[in-house]
Structure formats: structure tokens, C-alpha cells
Chain A
Amino acid sequence: MRDRFGLGWRAKLALGILSNLDRIDIVEVIADDYFRAPHRERRALRTLGAQTPVTLHGVSLGMASSVLVETKRLDEMARLCDEVSPVSWSEHLAFVRGGGIEIGHLAAPPRSAATVDGAIANLRRARKIVGVAPQVENVATLIDPPGSDRDEATWVSEIILHSDSDLLLDLHNLHANSINFNFDPVDYITRIPPERIGAIHLAGGKWIGRPDARRLLDDHLHDVPDPVYQLLEKVGACATRPLTVILERDGNFPPIEWLLEQLDRARRAVARGRTRRSAVAA
């Protein structure tokens, strides 16, 4: 079993990433940045893909909606996948628009039968049009979505069990939601079918809001906190397949060496989990 560890591709990290490909197994690229990019930028992406494995990450399809994703949006993803030949692609279990209103970012939908059914239908269409099913990512939210009638672990499990999509488990999103809405993140992990966890996101965040009503915001601008590494070790102990672990950093960039050290720490956490799993199996 070979787990892979990599970084999110950002322009300001490009030199650092390209200079350290011996320590980076895979690069995650935001697909939406390239849907309408000039030819030279798409060529550069193909060149990157020739040097290192690439996974494409979408942010604007809005898979977890009772409304069907427009075909033209899936066609854009299909064309990019054809050009780049990524090892995988992924999207969020979020809704990003409604009734012509563009939210402009990822919003957690009501956790209901309607959004389970909608997500399953969207994921099936995505697989048909793109040719490969996307991995789907749990999202962070600052509000418990109104209209929800089930908890997040149940909702996510229903979607992955009734689709061909594996879970891209964002552990900082899980950490933040577990704090903001007072649930046990380890219990969440144990309720996800372990054979369906295919990838991991790591990131950091910060506290926002009044002291008596504060929330942990997933902002991708801070280091990965200790509890997220502990959750990563837990996933390493239960996941049955090789994991792709991506460290996401969108700004407030530290030196590349600092990010690589966080990646090394992630490798050690997964290794400890794998060792525990082997010991239990022996």
C-alpha cells in the first residue's frame, strides 16, 4: 500500500513545489482556474502533469443540490480531464448557487433526502460525462444548514454508498464542524465506510465571532493544527486503501520548507496509523 502526499498548486508556491518534487508525490490543481484559461496556461498544466501526478479539484459545480448541475459545466471538467489525464478529480458536497443566485463559494446544503438524491443524480451524470466518478469532499460550514433532518456522517455516507464516488475527507473541515456543532469527529470517521475513503485534505483556520458565539473558520491561511494530525492518524488506522493526502494553503504563505515539514508530519501520522492497523491485523 503506497499512500501519496502532496500540495495544492498555487502560483506563489509554484517555484517551491517544482524545486522539491522529490519530496512531493502529487499536486492538486484547482480545475476551475483552467476552464477558460489561455492555451499557454493549459499547456503549462499539461507540462506539470508530465512531471508529477496531478489531481484536479473542482470548486463550482455544486454537486450536493436538488438541482441538476448544468451539462456545460460538466463538459468543461471533462475537457480538462481529457487534456491533463489526472490520476483523479474531485468536487465538494456543496451547493454554490440557487435560483440564479451565485453564492460565490461553497455552502453546506440542507442534509435531507432531497439533497442525497440530488447529489447521487449529479454524481452519476458527472461520471457519465467526464468518464470517471469524482471523489467528493465534505465541506466546512459556519451554520447548521436549515432543513437538515440527519447528521453529517449519515448524509455523507448515504451519498457515497449510493454513488460510485469515494470520499475526499477534509479533516480540517471535519475538525471545524465538530467544534462548531459539538460532535465527535472520531465517531464521524468510524461511521464512514473505510473502504470508501480515498483522499484527505489538510488545512488550518482561525477563530471568528464574539467570544460567546465564536466559530472555527476553515481559511487555508494557517498551519494544520495538532488535532487534525491526530484525526489523520485515525484515518490511517482505518482506511483500507492507499490515501492521497493534500495539504492546502491559499495564502499567508510560509517558506516552502515549512509546508514540506507539515507534509512530512502528515506522512508520519499516516504511518503510525498504518502500523496500528497492521498490529491489530497481526
Chain B
Amino acid sequence: MNDSRLETFLAGIYVDPGARAKFLANPRGEATRAGLTAQQVEDVIKIDRDGLQLLADSLERKRHGRK
């Protein structure tokens, strides 16, 4: 169950600019609020922020184009 929560959380910050902004402003708080385990919280707060933004931008372009 917690593993699906992690995937849901990642999907949210990858594609939803609002969710991403909230997370970047308060990583631990947002991850905890999402119901992630303590270890998952520690993992996501160490996320590569440059990579996250590049990924989000890339996904946005692909959603408006195609594979």
C-alpha cells in the first residue's frame, strides 16, 4: 500500500506544478502528509531538484506532443 502511495506522490510532483511547488516549499511536510513511510520521506526529500524540474518539463512537452 505504501509503495503505491509513493508512486502516486511521485506522479503528482512530476506532472502537477502546484503539487511540485508545495513539495519544494515544504518537502518533509508534504511527503508526510501524503502518508509516505519514514524511509520514503527521507528518500523523497533528497530528490535531485534540477532533475525533477527537467523531468517535469520533459513530461509536459511529451504530453503535448507524442512519444
A residues within 8 Å of B by Cβ? 30, 59, 65-67, 95, 97-105, 107, 109-110, 112, 114-115, 118, 141-148, 180, 208-210, 213, 215, 217, 220, 250-251
Answer whether A101 and B16 are a contact pair too, CB < 8 Å, given A143-B48, A143-B51, A250-B67.
Answer: yes
Residue from B4, B11, B47 in contact with A103 in the complex, judged by beta carbons closer than 8 Å: B11
Residues of A within 8 A of B66 (CB): 250
Judged by DSSP, the binding face of B is: helix
Answer whether A146 and B50 are a contact pair too, CB < 8 Å, given A98-B7, A101-B16, A250-B67.
Answer: no
CA distance in complex: A109, B48 (Å): 15
Judged by DSSP, the binding face of A is: loop
Residues of A within 8 A of B50 (CB): 209-210, 213
Beyond contacts A104-B63, A143-B55: 9 other A-B pairs, Cβ-Cβ < 8 A, are A67-B4, A98-B12, A99-B11, A103-B15, A105-B62, A143-B52, A147-B43, A209-B54, A250-B67
CA distance in complex: A95, B9 (Å): 12
Residues of B within 8 A of A104 (CB): 15, 59, 62-63
Question: How far does the Cβ of A34 sit from chain B's closest Cβ, in whole Å?
Answer: 14
Residues of B within 8 A of A251 (CB): 65
Q: List 11 A-B contacts (CB under 8 A).
A: A59-B67, A99-B7, A101-B16, A103-B14, A105-B59, A105-B62, A115-B3, A142-B58, A146-B47, A209-B50, A215-B54
Residues of A within 8 A of B16 (CB): 101
> Does B33 belong to the interface (CB within 8 Å)?
no
CB distance B44 to A142 under 8 Å? no
**Chain B CB within 10 Å, residue with most, of A107, A142, A220:** A142
Residue from A66, A144, A215 in contact with B3 in the complex, judged by beta carbons closer than 8 Å: A66
Residue from B7, B40, B47, B62 in contact with A95 in the complex, judged by beta carbons closer than 8 Å: B7
Question: How far does the Cβ of B1 sit from chain A's closest Cβ, in whole Å?
Answer: 9
CB distance A215 to B51 under 8 Å? yes
CB distance B15 to A142 under 8 Å? no
CB distance A98 to B4 under 8 Å? yes
Residues of B within 8 A of A105 (CB): 58-59, 62-63, 67
